[in-house]
Structure 1
Amino acid sequence: MGQPATTKDYYTKDEYFRMLEASDFKIEYHDGKLRMMTGGKIAHNDIIDNIYLALATGQKKCKVKNSENAVAIESTNKYVFPDLTATCGKPTYQEGGIARLTNPNLIVEVLSPSTAEYDRNEKFSYYRSLESFQEYVLIDSRKLSVESFYRETHELWHIGSYYNLDQSVMFHSLGIEVPMQTIYADIDFSLAL
């Protein structure tokens, strides 16, 4: 096991799933192209731990999942690995192998220097094609900064920005608030670079 060699220009879904199951690394699938995902820095991983614990214990109506679950975006033929997802109601998965969630309501991405642009733009565009998708939260691992996007209707999104430790981030789809102090508890920003 290890990181698979990606020498081809195009991979079928079957080839991708076989490669993914044999890999120690997460690999995203973008309509035949592969994108290798690297491990996060300490600050990135600590923020994921903080927010997962806050979301999973702060409410009982939705199921919170870590980045071991891929999200299947069938309309664009993509499989991606967000940092966290939450599904309110019964989660649905594509059949076979690696868990491929099809109906997340909330997606959380923790931004790092190498993924911030991708998470903010491309991934957000992919996620918006999911009918179930209601809320996107971007948490910066390099500074105090959380942005939230909540879809009220298909065309109308509400945007929230949080930059101070005395603020709380509203997770509308879960019906809870999480203090910035909880999200950034014991985070050393020097370990994000």
Structure 2
Amino acid sequence: MNAATADPLRRYTKQDYLELLDQSEHKYDYLDGEVRTMAGGTVAHNTILDNTTFALRLLARGCQIKGSETAIAVAAANRYHFPDVSAVCDTPTYEQGGIARLTNPALIVEVLSETSAAYDRGEKFSAYRQLPSFREYLLIDSRKLIVETYFREEKDLWRIGNSYDLGQVVRLRSLGINLPLQDIYLNVVFGGGE
């Protein structure tokens, strides 16, 4: 069977998108009819992703940590996104059929790159905020030592935190844990290209 690829000029229905995912070797975000290919990561991006996923699975007892193969369904915005990591501390709920499409993440993690930073901070964050369960957003830069956190204190009130030093910890309130920056950036070499 030939792997399907997305047509950038085509408008996709939700069903068309789900069929494309079932037939494709690639991951795609779905934005109310538009389909975007998800790019592969650099060595630094992938190392940060592996480190963060491992640390969260060790520290976040009672929560399920989902990798980048689990999509997030944002029904209110008619969107699907594949974050780098997500976490749910209640019973996970999914849309029925096909790939795993989580509807109730508490924490979403994105590892920022040159090409994804604006999209992750802007359009994606705006969509994620429409999820009632979504309480915290963790943005980890793969180009330099910067970690940003956004924690929802009330419906439209977010607390912002920044960390810039390997000796710091990131307080993840949604999971009730502290995540050391030295664990996130273990063995990461900045500016290494691939």
TM bin (shorter chain): over 0.9
**Alpha-carbon offset, residue 176 of structure 1:** 0.7
- Structure 1 match to 2:90: 89
Of stretches 150-159 and 178-187 in structure 1, the one that deviates more from structure 2 is: 150-159
State the Cα distance separating 1:155 from its structure 2 match: 2.3
Task: State the match for 2:149 in structure 1.
Answer: 148
Deviations 1:73-108 (A, max 9, x none): 000100110000000110000000010000000000
Matched to 2:61, the amino acid is K
Take 1:28 and 1:10, find their aligned partners in 2: how far apart are those partners?
A: 13
Alignment of 1:1-193 (within 5 A): 1-2=2-3, 4-6=5-7, 8-191=9-192
Amino acid at match of 1:156: L
Quote the RMSD (CA, aligned, Å): 1.2
The alignment's TM-score, normalised by the length of structure 2, stands at 0.96
CA contact (8 A) 1:44 1:192 kept: no
Gaps of 5+ in 2: none
| Separation of aligned partners in 1, 2:123 and 2:44 | 23
| Partner SS, residue 192 of structure 2 | helix
CA contact (8 A) 1:47 1:141 kept: yes
- Consecutive unaligned residues of structure 1, counting only runs of 5 or more, are none
What is the deviation of 1:178?
1.1
How many pairs align?
A: 193
Change (3 A) 1:2 1:39: farther
Give the Cα–Cα distance (whole angstroms) in 2 for the partners of residues 146 and 110 of structure 1. 9
Counterpart amino acid of residue 113 in structure 2: S
Deviation per CA, 1:10-63: give whole Å up to 9, x if none: 111111111111111101111111111111111101101000011111121110
**Cα separation, 2, equivalents of 1:83 and 1:191:** 20
SS of 2:20 mapped into structure 1? helix
1-side partners of 2:62 and 2:55: how far apart? 14
Matched-pair contact (CA < 8 Å) for 2:6–2:20? no
TM-score, normalised with respect to structure 1? 0.96
Distance 1:4 1:49 in 2: 27
* CA spacing shift, 1:3–1:37, aligned 2, 3 Å: farther
Distance 1:129 1:192, change over 3 A: farther
